[in-house]
Chains A and B, each alone.
Chain A
Amino acid sequence: MVILEGKGITKEFGGLKAVSDVDFVLNKGEILGLIGPNGAGKTTIVNMISGTYAPTSGRIMYKGMDITGKKPYQIGRMGISRTYQIVKPFPGMTVKENVSVGAMFGAQGKNYSTKEAIEKAESILEFVGLQDMANHRADDLSVASRKRLEMAKALAMGPEVILFDEVMAGLNFSEIDKAVELIRKIRDEGISILVIEHVMRAIKGVSDRIFVLHHGAKIADGKPEEVLNNEQVVKAYLGRRYKELVR
């Protein structure tokens, strides 16, 4: 079943086409990988889905509703959460307070009192493994923990779809493995996930399907093995020596 769908979405900044006429589909319970070189338009797509930018043309459908051009907070409350590539914690708040804000105002926020939202935040922190840092200020966290906090905030909103924008960038191998494990755990909760990532080892392992952007256009879409062997993808993004390196 399709939960999120983009139909011919295009975004122009001045004369520059950052994303041109891209179709994509995210199925319920699926992990969809989005890859492509720097400047390919990956984050722009996330920004359009989450309402930061309105597409120049095209439509974005969520559970059969047209959400094109809605404000970020409206989209967040409808059940689509996101993380930021450059993490955006609330530095002066504690980790628990950070996550509480997500619980208070997210898709489930209306059902929670302030106290319940804080309890929800505690259970989310346990889920992502940040419970020991709950009462630290967010700017005391390490890079890996900050990425994890981003994920916790998105998760606390009680979403049906999460857009992860490079939550593994800057992490070491063992941290990446933990993050991959967490993403799988989140999918097992019934949440559909779009993952943007440059870390091939992670994206290959975690994605059910991958689609590839290059110069704002979609050049491939399919099972990870197929896509990563696609001639065009190798040329545009992975490089000729990728296969040797992977082996």
Chain B
Amino acid sequence: MARERGATTKTIILGVLMIAGIAIPFFSGNFIIRFFTNALMFAVLASAWNIIGGYTGYASFGNVVFLGVGAYVSAVLMEKGGVPFWIAFPASGVGAAVFAVLIGLPVLRLKGHYFAIATLGVAEAMKALVDNLEITEGNSGIYLPVMNLSVKAQYVFFYFMMLGVLVLTLGVTFVVLKKKLGYGLIAIREDEEAANSLGVNTTLFKVTSFALSGFFSGLAGSLYAYQQGFIKPESVFDVGVTVKMIVMAVFGGIGSLLGPLVGALSIEIISEVLTNYFLVAHTLFFGAIVILAIVFTPRGIMDILSGRRKFGLNYLLQNIRNHRV
């Protein structure tokens, strides 16, 4: 019964989001379209983070590096190589995935905090590297070719591209979860040693998970770069972006398919509203909301919506007890 209610709630959420997702650009001005394009990008990043951090249990604190690699692959290919966007775009995803494999092989041998710190270091190191390379034009940043479309058309184009990447990310994740790969990843999260002795090739699975995470983030990076028209290392390798995607995933519900999407949309909307009302102190209120959410609903909003446990004062108190806050 509870399970059924959960499934219905999920279908309703998904339906509403899909209709709203397609309808928004037709009824909104540029500002709103741009706002939601940005929110969708974070939904992609948080969902991609969820693959490695939520399902595989490896909390990466450097996932922004895939956004950066994707952005710079597009920028360099299009600006220096004269490659059209339609080639640069998938190349960014593949480039970030290949980068994830190369980094993942050594770094995924680490666990817990060590893995988190190592990934953080990788992202910072890439920022420093791109800052000093000639082909990326160093810390002065790099321009991308200008798109030959009206402003409104550009906004709509990027909106739907980002929506497409999000649907792809969630669709692939959904399929993976039904396959052996998904079972293997969750087994690794629950107990890696036991998974290994049950025949799961843990190294291969972890690297695959990291590469998927990198691929989708890289696609988002490509779109971000092309829409901005100009990128700098400190903006696309910014640790703050990693923190934001993790907060969103946690807020919505780690290890649930729609959690990061719900988290990204709610956080973006909350922070936008707060900025409107409290120009200076909005981060203070925002921080308070995040802390309260994590204390009272550590499993995220999706846990409340899933209907597995009845929502109420007891639910909140039980969460505090269970998670020893």
Residues of A within 8 A of B (CB): 50-52, 71-73, 76-77, 81-82, 84, 88-93, 97, 100-102, 104-107, 109, 114, 117, 153, 157
B235-251 vs A, CB cutoff 8 Å, 1 = contact: the mask equals: 00000000000000000
B124-142 vs A, CB cutoff 8 Å, 1 = contact: the mask equals: 0000000000000000000
A100 to B184, CA, bound (A): 10
Q: Which of B191-238 contact A (CB under 8 A)?
A: 191, 193-202
Sample 15 A-B pairs with CB under 8 A, ordered by A number: A73-B200, A76-B197, A76-B198, A77-B199, A82-B197, A84-B194, A89-B190, A89-B194, A90-B186, A90-B194, A101-B187, A105-B180, A114-B180, A153-B194, A153-B198
- Which of B186, B189, B196 contacts A73, CB < 8 Å? B196
B74 to chain A, nearest CB (A): 36
The residue in chain A whose Cβ has the minimal distance to the Cβ of B178 is A114
Q: Known interface pairs A88-B191, A90-B187, A92-B186. Does A101 touch B198 (Cβ–Cβ under 8 Å)?
A: yes
- Contact of A104 with B180 in the complex, beta carbons under 8 Å: yes
Residues of B within 8 A of A (CB): 178-180, 183-184, 186-187, 189-191, 193-202
A77 to B202, CA, bound (A): 13
- Contact of B187 with A50 in the complex, beta carbons under 8 Å: no
Q: Which B residues are CB-close (under 8 A) to A76? A: 196-199
B254 to chain A, nearest CB (A): 11
A227 to B193, CA, bound (A): 34
Q: Which A residues are CB-close (under 8 A) to B200? A: 73, 101, 105
Q: Known interface pairs A104-B180, A105-B184, A114-B180. Does A157 touch B198 (Cβ–Cβ under 8 Å)?
A: yes
- Contact of A52 with B195 in the complex, beta carbons under 8 Å: no
- Which of A90, A92, A114, A157 contacts B199, CB < 8 Å? A157
The residue in chain B whose Cβ has the minimal distance to the Cβ of A51 is B197
Q: Other than the known A90-B186, A101-B184, A104-B199, what 18 A-B pairs have Cβ atoms closer than 8 Å?
A: A50-B197, A52-B197, A72-B196, A73-B199, A73-B200, A76-B196, A89-B191, A90-B187, A90-B195, A93-B187, A97-B183, A100-B183, A101-B183, A101-B195, A101-B200, A105-B184, A105-B198, A109-B199
